[in-house]
Amino acid sequence: MKFSAEFEQRFTEMVTHYPSKRSVLVPTLLYAQDEVGYLSDEVIAEIAQRLDLKELDVRNVISYYSMLTTKPRGKYNVQICTNIACILRGADELYHHCQDKLGIRHKQTTSDGQFSLEEVECIGACSWAPAMQVNYDFHENLTPEKVDAILDGYKKA
Ligand code: FES
């Protein structure tokens, strides 16, 4: 498996910052996912080997974090938090609004490959609920109108 020179440079530097290789697992998975698009079997095997881990250990960590995926997603991964603070401030309505606007349901991708949608647990933005995360961007104090403007903005990008 071959990653870019930039990935290799980041990886080489990261492993020097921690006492154990395992500590760089999550950032390494994120960098690999950004580069490949998702964490394929090949990527998982490569990272496990580099960090002296079992593939099962790597898969267990992937299954814990909603940011990580073993399946291809759309260019923009829309994650709507429907945990308690957000649900009390309208997240359920927002989630259904997104489903209707994008024409997809949980963990589905639009046919043009632009958007994927996911209902997720707390994303740590409770004080600004309801909130969603699109790739690495946080959007807070949402309303259906704000969500429309945000998604339309990504569509044009
Ligand atoms: S409950 Fe939604 S961000 Fe925490």
pTM flag (> 0.75): yes
How many angstroms separate the CA atoms of 154 and 157, rounded? 5
> Does pLDDT of 157 surpass 90?
no
Q: What percent of the chain clears pLDDT 70, i.e. is strictly above it?
A: 100
Q: What is the pLDDT of residues 50-78, one digit of tens each?
A: 999 999 999 999 999 988 999 999 999 99
CA of 146 to the centre of ligand 1 (A): 17
Domain count, the chain: 2
In this structure, the answer to whether residues 58 and 81 fall within a common structural domain is no
How many angstroms separate the CA atoms of 40 and 19, rounded? 27
Sign of the four-CA dihedral 125, 129, 122, 112: negative
Residue 71 domain-assigned (yes or no)? no
In this structure, the answer to whether residues 142 and 119 fall within a common structural domain is yes
Q: Which residues line ligand 1 (CB under 6 A)?
A: 81, 83-86, 122-126, 129, 131
Nearest to 44 by CA among 71, 18, 20, 23: 71
In this structure, the answer to whether residues 91 and 145 fall within a common structural domain is yes
115-120 and 76-81 strand pairing: parallel
Pair of tokens at residue 149: 């403007």
CA of 102 to the centre of ligand 1 (A): 22
Q: Give the three-class secondary structure for 46.
A: helix
